[in-house]
Amino acid sequence: MYELIRAGERTWYIDAPAKMGVFELGGGEVCLIDTGSRGDGEAVLPLLEERGWKLRAIFNTHAHVDHIGGNRYLHERTGCPVYAPPLESFFAENPGIGLSILFGATVPDELRGRFFTAEGCPALPFGELPEGLEAVPLPGHSHDMYGFRTADGVMFLADSLVSGKTLDRYHISFVFNVGAYLETLGKVGDMRASLFVPSHADAAEKIAPLARKNADKTFEIADVILEACREPAGFEEVLRAVFGRFGLRMSIQQYVMVGCTVRSYLSWLRDCGRCGMICEKDRLLWRSV
């Protein structure tokens, strides 16, 4: 846990539940790509200090708690600025608002714990990046997610895909915009890099097979939802069918995360003309077309 692994001449990554990138800027200075979950900053800073590195900046791929959790600690300890994609920077600074969007209203106390929320930290939209670091749009998983390519040809993919093991066990990963997510998977599958570093999968020299597996699972989930809507069905019925099909266990956290994802699938299927919405007896129902 928290092992610093070399990925290129100037590029490293920290092996953690959500991998973080380290890019050497020269003169003993580095920037971080993401900061892990809440509390991870305390583990990351000693790794940098042991090598005599000074943290110059943090670049977040997106504003989910397991990618911005160390922002505040590292910002306060080192004074380094925090940057994020334009829309995500707002959520990184105001994480409670992102959680409210996820839930669809002001959230109950059960959802205000470490699993869902990071400590807010001043964050700026990134503009011109340090030499040797390129931002690559990877929308779909979140509102405005970006990955980063370094001068060594290492590509940090953020949450654009998850591991095959995760797909086989849990089946459903969080997706905010299914159409954009599928486009990103196609883009990732066509990429070339010396090494790919997804946040939630093993680093690999080839990524196309995993991108295809994620896309195939996305289409499988869509088919399950369409089957659940062969007769008009409310959202709760559709969600229950998805949980039943994949053997998932309901919890408050799963209801929010999987529920938001299922709504995203329904919206996408509606926009594709494969599912319709009807109002009947004061209920919004979904029906396959």
Share of the chain above pLDDT 90, in %: 87
Sheet holding 195-198, edge to edge: 133-137, 146-150, 154-158, 195-198
Q: Report DSSP state, residue 204.
A: B
Q: How high is the pLDDT of residue 95?
A: 86
For residues 145 and 2, the model is more confident at 145
- Number of alpha carbons in the 13 Å side-chain half-sphere of residue 138: 27
- Residue 77 pLDDT > 70: yes
Q: Which two tokens stand for residue 247?
A: 């053997």
**pLDDT tens sequence across 206-242:** 999 999 999 999 999 999 999 999 999 999 999 999 9
**pLDDT band with cut points at 50, 70 and 90 for residue 102:** confident
- Residue 35 pLDDT > 80: yes
**pLDDT band with cut points at 50, 70 and 90 for residue 113:** low
Rounded to 5 degrees, φ, ψ at 42 are: -65, -30
Residue 13 vs residues 49, 151, 178, 278: alpha-carbon distances, Å: 15, 14, 28, 49
3-state secondary structure 95-147: HHHHHHHHHCCCCCHHHCCCCCCCCCCCCEECCCCCCCEEEEECCCCCCCCEE
**pLDDT tens sequence across 128-138:** 999 999 999 99
Report the DSSP pairing between strands 283-288 and 275-280: antiparallel
Q: How high is the pLDDT of residue 114?
A: 62
- Residue 117 pLDDT > 80: no
Number of Cβ within 10 Å of residue 178's Cβ equals 21
Q: Mean pLDDT across the chain, nearest whole number?
A: 95
Q: How high is the pLDDT of residue 253?
A: 87
**pLDDT band with cut points at 50, 70 and 90 for residue 115:** low
- Residue 39 pLDDT > 90: no
The residue behind tokens 């100037």 is 10
* Nearest 10 degrees: Cα torsion 32, 38, 42, 48: -10
Could you tell me which residues come within 8 angstroms of residue 40 by beta carbon, excluding any fewer than 6 positions away?
Answer: 2, 16, 20, 69, 70
pLDDT (mean) for 179-207:
98
Q: For the chain, what is the total number of helices (H) and then of strands (E)?
A: 10, 13
For residue 264, give the nearest of 109, 164, 142, 100 by alpha carbon. Answer: 142
The DSSP-derived string for 214-272 is HHHHHHHHHHHHHHHTSS-B-HHHHHHHHHHHHT----HHHHHHHHHHHHHHHHHHHHT
Q: Which domains does the chain possess?
A: 3-159 (3.60.15.10), 221-288 (1.10.10.10)
Rounded to 5 degrees, φ, ψ at 238 are: -65, -45
CA distance linking residue 258 with residue 261, whole number of Å: 5
pLDDT (mean) for 99-119:
80
Number of Cβ within 10 Å of residue 166's Cβ equals 16
pTM of the model: 0.96
